[in-house]
Amino acid sequence: MSDETMKHREVRFPRAVKRGAVLLGLVVLALAVALSTTGCGSKKKSSSTTTAAAGKCQLQVFSWWTGGGEAAGLAKLITDWNTDPSLGGGSPGCPFKNETVAGGAGSNAKAVLAQRLVAKKPPDSFQGHAGKELLDYIKAGQIEPINFIYKSAGFEKVMAPQLVKQITYKGNLYSVPVNIHRANVLWFNPSVLKKAGITIAAGSPLTWNQFIADLNAVKAKDPGVTPLSLGEAWTQKHLLETVMIGVLGADGWNSLFAKGADWNSAKVTEALNRFKTLLTYTNSDASSLTWQDAGKLVVDGKAAFNVMGDWQEGYFGGKVKAGNLGMKSGVDYSWTAAADTNGIFDWLSDSFTLPKGAPHRDAAVKWLTFLGSLKAQDTFNPVKGSIPARQDANPALYDTYLQWSLKQWKADQLACSLTHGCAASNAWNADVDTALGQFMQSKDVAAFQKALVAAAAKNA
Ligand code: GAL
């Protein structure tokens, strides 16, 4: 959680101070209204208390990118924004205000964002996954259509068409995608595998049976090594999703999110049983580990495998001075598609929005225009560990893993990620989270499947 959020939560003011603050707030608000014709950002929005308190334009961008390649990628965008006057940021323009809330996959951020949106205190732009997650904000009337940005910047012609479909609702576009991530990646430590007599070539297909045999071989070789590292709750759902896709295939998986889909099927049961089996190879402290912690176990040689999205690539391979591990791909770590998912790209995309009532709307429009530019996408993605949403990016700027991903994105069948907002709404995800949390305690497959059936019936 950001320092700022912590402060908001923890500080308690005495009543007299509160009264004083209210008075001061009114004065500041009046001043802000008076200044609104000269200030930066949207004239009609600049009476917001945030603008008034800051006394100057600050582009408030909300995300959960606080660690590893996430933070490093965002830092690159911030530097460009703050130093290139042609973009509209910087000083005396509208410098960046980083409103991140820590917690992978937005596990804390989404709740904080929801509170801000309900309280009508939106940031200038926030991160939202392409697909059903975005639809939540659209249906709640919390974000503006931005067709005008697409038109003026020519984005519709350059963005991947599958993606444009996921951010369009009733003919309107609602966000600018910055990237495409692959969720179904199996990361591994080649030296640990070698000791257990296993070799897996980067990007080569791995069947479920082979994977189980490999996990057993690691276990037999050294009981001190965790065969499959796992982290906190959302990473468990992430693992479950890749296992389900392995059993159901891309079409079978995608169709689970349509009305009336059969979550009671034998295939779903088989997938849940496989997931249960995998849990027997994982670390017992999973719930207290972040995705970075679980990944680091692999590069440290304390675990053999980890299933995680390719933000892990940014963390493993990125520069140490940027908060990453500086490891060598193919030597210190390697990757392939999660078991039985070769040829399937379990995808998600981070996109940024224009909230209704954005305090500095004009600056936010410029920010979104910048995000969709070739420069921003080719600067951000090689560091973040993702491929660009634009189709005209320069592959030479991307590392070995990302070049593989670029090719797979074009060749593979696409499966829409559940954990990362593509396939289902936040509400549906929350019901799956509850069911999964109970399953992690009970390990009762039948009860888990029943709860998933109920979640689908309620939310589809
Ligand atoms: C995903 C997000 C990625 C990455 C990951 C871990 O939901 O789309 O950009 O940040 O969470 O935090």
- Taking the centre of ligand 1 as the mean of its atom positions, its distance from the CA of residue 76, in whole angstroms, is 17
Q: What pLDDT shows up at residue 450?
A: 98
Whether residue 321 is contained in a domain is answered as: yes
Residues 317 and 377 in one domain: no
Residues 334 and 379 in one domain: no
Domain count, the chain: 2
The CA-based angle 187-386-189, given to 5 degrees, is 15
Q: What pLDDT shows up at residue 365?
A: 97
- Taking the centre of ligand 1 as the mean of its atom positions, its distance from the CA of residue 438, in whole angstroms, is 24
Residues 150 and 231 in one domain: no
Q: Is the CB of 412 under 6 A from ligand 1?
A: no
> How many Cα atoms are found within 13 Å in the side-chain-facing hemisphere of 271?
26
Q: What pLDDT shows up at residue 22?
A: 37
Whether residue 19 is contained in a domain is answered as: no
Q: What pLDDT shows up at residue 49?
A: 33
SS (H, E, C) 38-73: CCCCCCCCCCCHHHHHHCCCCEEEEECCCCHHHHHH
Three-class DSSP category at 177: strand
Whether residue 17 is contained in a domain is answered as: no
The overall longest dimension of the chain from CA atoms, in Å, is 73
Q: Pick from 368, 383, 409: which residue ends a domain?
A: 409
CA distances in angstroms from 120 to 87, 268, 358, listed in the order given: 27, 41, 9
Residues 107 and 166 in one domain: yes
Checking DSSP bridges between strand 226-229 and strand 303-308, what pairing results, if any?
A: parallel
Alpha-carbon torsion, ordered 182, 186, 189, 191, to 10 deg = -130
Q: What pLDDT shows up at residue 91?
A: 66
Amino acid at 325: L
Whether residue 333 is contained in a domain is answered as: yes
First to last CA, the chain: 31
- Full domain range(s) for residue 354: 59-179+350-409
Please give the structure tokens belonging to residue 117. 């949106």
Whether residue 32 is contained in a domain is answered as: no
Q: Is the CB of 431 under 6 A from ligand 1?
A: no
DSSP per-residue string spanning 348-402: E-EEEE-BTT-TTHHHHHHHHHHHTSHHHHHHHHHHHT-EESBSS--GGGS-HHH
DSSP per-residue string spanning 323-338: TS--PPBTTTBEEEEP
Residues 228 and 314 in one domain: yes
Whether residue 49 is contained in a domain is answered as: no
Give the residue, by CA position, lying nearest to ligand 1 atom 3: 105
Residues 238 and 305 in one domain: yes
Residues 381 and 433 in one domain: no
Residues 240 and 318 in one domain: yes
Residues 172 and 236 in one domain: no
Query: What distance in Å separates the CA atoms of residue 227 and residue 402, rounded to the nearest whole number?
Result: 25
Consecutive 10-residue averages of pLDDT for the chain (460 residues): 34 36 37 33 34 68 95 97 87 90 96 97 97 96 98 95 92 97 98 98 98 98 98 98 98 98 98 98 98 98 98 97 96 98 98 98 96 97 98 96 97 98 97 98 98 98
Give the residue, by CA position, lying nearest to ligand 1 atom 1: 105
Q: Is the CB of 348 under 6 A from ligand 1?
A: yes
Query: What distance in Å separates the CA atoms of residue 271 and residue 265, rounded to the nearest whole number?
Result: 10
pTM score above 0.75: yes
Whether residue 11 is contained in a domain is answered as: no
Q: Is the CB of 308 under 6 A from ligand 1?
A: no
Residues 284 and 397 in one domain: no
Residues 128 and 277 in one domain: no
Report the CATH number that the domain containing residue 67 is assigned in CATH: 3.40.190.10
Residues 253 and 190 in one domain: yes
H/E stretch holding 175: strand 175-177
Residue 65 CA: which ligand 1 atom is closest? 10
Whether residue 2 is contained in a domain is answered as: no
